[in-house]
Amino acid sequence: MNEKFLGLGANGEEVEKSLDDFKGQKVVLYFYPKDNTSGCTQEACDFRDNLNRITKAATLIGVSPDSIKSHTKFKQNHDLNFLLLSDPEHKLAEKFEVWKEKSMYGRKYMGIERSTFVLDAKGNIEKEWRKVKVKGHVEEVLDYLSK
């Protein structure tokens, strides 16, 4: 997928990236609903705290529909040290089929289904986790990467 997405790099610099930019390397691509919410913050911090273990095997990329401005605050508030891509039009989310109808308190709305994918060096999905529960998820990813 050569479509470019605006994002924030590991050092907070604005970047334009396509998944094709990562061909030749394994990628952990995780989709999360919203910056600075409790579950998304916990998940991002769990990835941050284990980044050295993850990067031995793969590049880590987080994706949400939030704006670059929102990503900037999120990265600063939690010292996030990996790439976050902004997907406000849900193009990447739709490609991975994680833009779903959700329901809260009887109200239906569209949003991100928390999901993680491991992409092989050719960009193909090697492993996926859908409807992710935050607690223990990063350990599941690490276990898979260590095989």
| CATH for 30 | 3.40.30.10
Residue 37: the pLDDT is 96
Asked if residue 79 is part of any domain, the answer here is: yes
| For residue 1, pLDDT beyond 70 | no
32 band by pLDDT with thresholds 50, 70 and 90: very high
Asked if residue 139 is part of any domain, the answer here is: no
Asked if residue 135 is part of any domain, the answer here is: no
Rounded Cα distance between 1 and 20, Å, is 6
Residue 121: the pLDDT is 96
Query: Which range marks the domain in which residue 75 is found?
Result: 5-127
Q: Please state, in angstroms and as integers, the Cα–Cα distance from residue 73 to each residue in 13, 69, 85, 107, 141, following that order.
A: 13, 7, 14, 29, 26
Q: Which residues contact 72 (CB under 8 A, 6 or more apart)?
A: 8, 12
How many domains is the chain partitioned into structurally?
1
| For residue 123, pLDDT beyond 90 | yes
Residue 145: the pLDDT is 97
Longest dimension (CA), the chain: 44
Q: Which of 29, 40, 93, 118 is catalytic?
A: 40
Q: Catalytic annotation on 45?
A: no
| For residue 3, pLDDT beyond 90 | no
Tens of pLDDT, residues 61-96: 999 999 999 999 999 999 999 999 999 999 999 999
